[in-house]
Amino acid sequence: MDFMDAAHLSLVIIAITVVLFVTEKIPLALTAVLSAVAMGVFKVMPLNQVYVGWGSTTTAMVAGMMVIGDCVFESGLAKVIGGKLIKTKLAQNERVLAFTVTAIGCLVSAFLSNSATIATMMPLIAAVVYKSNGRLHNKYLIMGCGFGCAIGGASTLVGSTAQLIAQGILEKTPGCRPLTMFEFTPPGVILCIILCVYMATIGYEIEKRVMDFPDKSPVAIDPAAWDNDEEEKMTPKMWVSAIVLILCIVGFIFSIWNIAVIAVTGAAVCILFGCKDLHKALRDLDWNTLVILGAAQGFAKGLDVSGGGKLIANFVVNIFGGQNASLVAIFVAGIVVSTVLTNFMSNTAVLAMLTPIFINIGFQLNVHPEVLIIGLILGGSNAIGTPVGTPCVTQTLPAGYRYMDYVKVGAPITIILMIVTCIILPMIYGFQPIN
């Protein structure tokens, strides 16, 4: 492939991948694997980077939380929780519940790993849906919760790793100041409110129209155990599942260990105490989601290390006039680039790549670059138009969604949030000139 450099070749591979994702001529998981392999075979990146995502913190954490979620169901704990939640007023109307679960995703993920949040929420949503006797549907609730986790994760400094990457670069760059814990909470709250309203109105209507597949629970349910409406008493297995789930959440909040270690340890404890048989736990794992998650990190790595992402970034910036463009044009370009790229590659990689570029642009335009970086962070969190860019959105695939379901529901709100971000950030922060 001497006729094409690695950067341009990575863009060709990504373009083919997107076409295959959209058409679904072959399964999404197989498309993701072939894309990652192509990045290595055609020397876009080293071959040992092809499988980098399989051993990543995110993939291991998701696998562990899948097991814990299944144990919450297997033990009967989810049935107890679902039985209580279904009696509340919030569960009487599906639109209201769609707003509620999206809002919970936004709020919790602001302080807890957004991937951990959606992994915890999906079994609980599934429990409420099952106890509703067909009145509620997983497919109209889980996607919105995943979107909420993505947007809410960028509302504080600790909600997602992407802003921590940007923070580290700012701290090491002379002339820049670090971001504060709640610096981007005001615009984050506005974006979360818009998303919640959307998922209960326009988004809900789109879901009703395009999601023509049978409703699917993201976790395995035993009808024989669940169809018994007698009041359940807490059993030892329920207590173990509950305690493990609570301790995992506490561990995530206080960063006691790496989030993957916490989730895998929790899963091991559940299996050790008999909450679920090991072989059944492995069979019930949603391998389709895990394969897509692991492989997507592989081909995203290729887009990053080859310079393909930087090529796209420079292209979009040049459309807006390059480094000689107006400050507002460059600011908008940064948000657009961050949103577009994060739909296809890790937001952590996007921030690591774009932050130094826009810090330098800020200095050249004689303004403090922090507001530009906040725009990049929020722009990346807005990228919910595909299931492969943001892990917490990828994790909602077990509810039976297809690639185009995310595009049809997520693309409109992605555009809306991107436009709102471009408008409100200058109003909230302004552009501070360097004295």
Whether 20 is in a domain gets the answer no
Residue 49 has pLDDT above 50, yes or no: yes
More confident residue, 400 or 171: 400
Structure tokens at 214: 């049978």
Report the predicted TM-score, pTM, of the whole model to 2 decimal places.
Answer: 0.74
Average pLDDT of the chain to the nearest whole number: 82
The residues pairing with 367 across neighbouring beta strands, listed in sequence order, are 433
> What pLDDT does residue 158 have?
66
Task: Check residue 269 and report its DSSP letter.
Answer: H
Taking residues 231-257, report their average pLDDT: 81
CA pair distance 269, 377, nearest whole angstrom:
36
Q: What is the domain range of residue 194?
A: 55-286
> What pLDDT does residue 4 have?
67
Distance of CA 116 to the CA centre of its chain: 10
The string of pLDDT tens digits covering residues 350-379 is 777 777 778 777 777 788 888 899 999 999
pLDDT band at 27 (very low <50, low <70, confident <90, very high): confident
**Count: domains in the chain:** 1
Whether 345 is in a domain gets the answer no
Compute, in degrees rounded to 10, the torsion defined by CA atoms 186, 189, 191, 195: -170
Angle at 425 between CA 423 and CA 429, to 5 degrees: 135
Structure tokens at 319: 């459309």
pLDDT band at 86 (very low <50, low <70, confident <90, very high): low
Whether 388 is in a domain gets the answer no
Residue 407 has pLDDT above 50, yes or no: yes
Among residues 160, 159, 182, 157, the alpha carbon closest in space to that of 170 is found at 157
The answer to whether the beta carbons of residues 52 and 256 sit under 8 Å apart is no
Task: Give the three-class secondary structure for 367.
Answer: strand
CA pair distance 373, 377, nearest whole angstrom:
6
Whether 346 is in a domain gets the answer no
What percent of the chain clears pLDDT 90, i.e. is strictly above it?
A: 25
Whether 222 is in a domain gets the answer yes
Residue 1 has pLDDT above 50, yes or no: no
Residue 37 has pLDDT above 80, yes or no: yes
What percent of the chain clears pLDDT 70, i.e. is strictly above it?
A: 89
> What pLDDT does residue 339 have?
92
> What pLDDT does residue 315 have?
75
> What pLDDT does residue 177 have?
85
Taking residues 202-226, report their average pLDDT: 85
The answer to whether the beta carbons of residues 365 and 122 sit under 8 Å apart is no
> What pLDDT does residue 82 have?
66
**How many residues in the chain?**
435
Angle at 342 between CA 338 and CA 344, to 5 degrees: 135
The string of pLDDT tens digits covering residues 408-422 is 999 999 999 999 999
Structure tokens at 321: 């006039």
Taking residues 191-220, report their average pLDDT: 93
Q: Cβ atoms within 10 A of the Cβ of 417, count?
A: 26
> What pLDDT does residue 419 have?
96
Whether 320 is in a domain gets the answer no
The dihedral sign for the CA sequence 50, 408, 11, 330: negative
The string of pLDDT tens digits covering residues 323-338 is 566 888 889 988 998 9
Structure tokens at 207: 């879901």
pLDDT band at 2 (very low <50, low <70, confident <90, very high): low
Residue 310 has pLDDT above 80, yes or no: no
> What pLDDT does residue 207 have?
96
Structure tokens at 379: 């722009």
The string of pLDDT tens digits covering residues 152-195 is 988 887 677 677 778 777 877 778 888 887 888 899 999 999 99
b (16+ CB within 10 A) / e for 318-340: eebeeeebebeebbbbbbbbbbb
The string of pLDDT tens digits covering residues 17-26 is 777 776 767 8
Task: Give the three-class secondary structure for 433.
Answer: strand
Among residues 98, 173, 106, the alpha carbon closest in space to that of 139 is found at 98
Taking residues 108-124, report their average pLDDT: 79
Structure tokens at 308: 């393909």
Whether 433 is in a domain gets the answer no
Whether 407 is in a domain gets the answer no
